[in-house]
Amino acid sequence: MPAPVGPAGPTEAEEPKGRRRIGVLLVVALLAFLVDFGSKLLVVARLENHSAIKVIGDVMTFQVIRNSGAAFGMGQALTVVFTMIASAVIVVIWRIARRLYSLPWAIALGLLLGGALGNLTDRLFRSPGVFRGHVVDFISVQHFAVFNLADSAIVCGGILVVLLSFRGSNPDGTVHQQADKGEQADKGE
């Protein structure tokens, strides 16, 4: 028999069980941030103002590009806006983290958080100034954008969020289909 639902929402019987996964989120975010930060320090020190390094022929090279815009160099005049968006993403992830019980969601959100923090750090502390800093991109794939490891973390985290959503998984550890079945049982279907 499903637990009763009050006017304010689910009762305690429907609360997710298990451990909160904030620690996993923070560890994944910290690792993603540190790998991105370290790689940017290394490439700026070793590659800036040098010729591109061929990694896989002409298909993939390492070369430092300072990007004031978003992916593919779009929105170069909107650096402050991208700083605000990254800040908002961090706040939203932190709010979700308070009710985070799902390990896959913790990993996905950790990747998003670490990547957002990596690029936000560039926006805040790199030239030409606070909130207008240019992001260091260095991985160049032929016929594609030049990006960094923070961008990769964001994309991987975003793909994982989409896959988890399609599977019906919620950050709190519940599954959409369980809720749908409970509603059908309540209606006598």
Whether 151 is catalytic = yes
Judge contact between 32 and 114, C-beta under 8 A. yes
Name 50's bridge partners: none
- pTM, full prediction: 0.79
- In tens, the pLDDT along 12-35 reads 445 556 788 999 999 999 999 999
Output the CA torsion sign for 102, 21, 37, 95: positive
Catalytic residue among 151, 172, 180, 186: 151
Say what the pLDDT of residue 15 is: 57
Nearest residue to 134 (alpha-carbon basis) of 87, 78, 174: 78
In Å, how far are 3, 11, 104, 189 from 186, measured between CA atoms?
10, 15, 30, 8
Contact (CB, 8 A) for 164 and 106: no
What stretches in the chain show pLDDT beneath 50?
Answer: 1-3, 6, 9-13, 179, 189
Q: Is 180 assigned a catalytic role? A: no
Considering 36, 137, 172, 180, which one is annotated as catalytic? 137
